[in-house]
Amino acid sequence: MDFEAHGIDPCRRNKVGEIGSVIVGKNVWIGNNVTILKNSNIGENSIVATGAVVAGVFPSNVIIGGVPAKIIKKLNFGQ
C-alpha cells in the first residue's frame, strides 16, 4: 500500500492523502531497492530489475526495469 502522507497546502496537512493499491501477481520476482508506487499492477511471472521505480500497469510474463520502469523483454515460457 502506498499513500500521500500529507498535502503541500498548509491548511490541509493534517488530512491523510489518497490511498492507492499495489497489486503484485503470483510468482513475481522483485529485485533489491525497487520502489513500487501506488496504483501499480505487476502481472504474474514477471521480473522487476534491481533499482526500478514501478508506476502503472504491466502485463504478465515480462521483465521490467528502469526509472521509470518499462518493459525490457517479453518472456516466452515453453516455446
The pLDDT assigned to 71 comes to: 98
The pLDDT assigned to 51 comes to: 97
Q: What is the pTM of this model?
A: 0.81
DSSP-assigned letter for residue 11: G
| Cα Rg, the chain, nearest whole Å | 15
Q: For residues 67 and 79, what is the distance between their CA atoms, to the nearest angstrom?
A: 30
Parse the chain into domains and list their residue ranges.
2-9+21-74
Q: What are the cell numbers at 16? A: 491523510
What are 40-58's pLDDT values in tens digits? 999 999 999 999 999 999 9
- For the chain, residues with pLDDT lower than 70 are 1-7, 13, 16-17, 78-79
The pLDDT assigned to 20 comes to: 81
CATH architecture of 2-9+21-74: 3 Solenoid (2.160)
| Active site amino acids | 6
